[in-house]
Structure 1
Amino acid sequence: MLHNEPVFPSDRHALHEQHGYSAAIRSSDLLFVSGQVGGRADGSPEPDFAKQVQLAFDNLLAVLDAAGCGPEDIVDVTSFHTDPEVQLGTVMEVKKRIFPEAPYPNWTALGVTWLAGFDFEIKVIARCPAR
């Protein structure tokens, strides 16, 4: 087994190739998931913000699934928002569907000025069950 094993979902997105990064890296029982955005299969941003957030979470769940993990395995979340004051309510609605009850993961939300055409990005660290 590789010391750091790349993980990709079955429907690998164009952004991975365009920008040369792995969707996630498994190191022992930890999974470090790269920032997931609400990108369509061709890498373009979903223009509707609510749909973009849901798609980012869907992409995150697909990466977790490819590694044999689920949302319950997430330990730490970092999210990036281009307009947090306006967007946070929408993000929280989707978040509640993914994490409906405690215990919740750690979460840090950051306001940023640029996300390469996207308005929301989420990255996580998960502790995956033994394979």
Structure 2
Amino acid sequence: MNRCSKPLSQPRRLALGAALALAGMLPLAAQAQMQRLFPAKVQRGGITFTAPPVVELDGKTERLGPGVRVRDAHNRVALTGTLRGKSFVVNYQRDAAGMVREIWILTPAEIARPVQGAQAGSARPEPDYIN
């Protein structure tokens, strides 16, 4: 009983290699086109991670909220301890107590786009909910 498979022929090997190469490129093309969406009440500012959870946000010393999530430019979760001493342009969101709870480190393309809803005088009223 022969348990060894037969070797692939040259055309089959080339076709299999081309298919694997194409499959490997598809996720890269999808990631290149993906655009991050930010919440409506997001604010933009400059942040310096001095000694987390203490940061300097727009020139003011502030404390990050418990359970803060920091997303890097590739939308991966970044630990605040690894960002110590670094400065970034970010979008951030505050919780009900006024503490920073989410931070997105921006790419140059995201910095070039204006922030929706953060300009003075452009606040939209909350929708009325009818029960």
TM-score (norm 1): 0.22
User: Bigger relative contact order, structure 1 or 2, given CA contacts below 8 A and separation 6+?
Assistant: 1
Q: How high is the TM-score relative to the length of structure 2? A: 0.22
More helix by share: 1
